[in-house]
Amino acid sequence: MASTKVQRIMTQPINLIFRFLQSKARIQIWLFEQKDL
């Protein structure tokens, strides 16, 4: 039971970092498209 709690705590920041990287990549692509125009 304790191990599952630890896994949940560990996966939360990973999900946040993954979401942040996805949004950052989207912003970079959008900025690149704006520069192209």
For residues 3 and 8, give the distance between their C-alpha atoms in angstroms, rounded to a whole number. Answer: 9
The reported pTM is 0.51
Q: Sort residue 22 into left (φ over 0), alpha (ψ -120 to 50) or beta.
A: alpha
For residues 1 and 29, give the distance between their C-alpha atoms in angstroms, rounded to a whole number. Answer: 42
pLDDT in tens, 1-37: 677 887 887 788 899 999 999 999 999 998 888 887 6
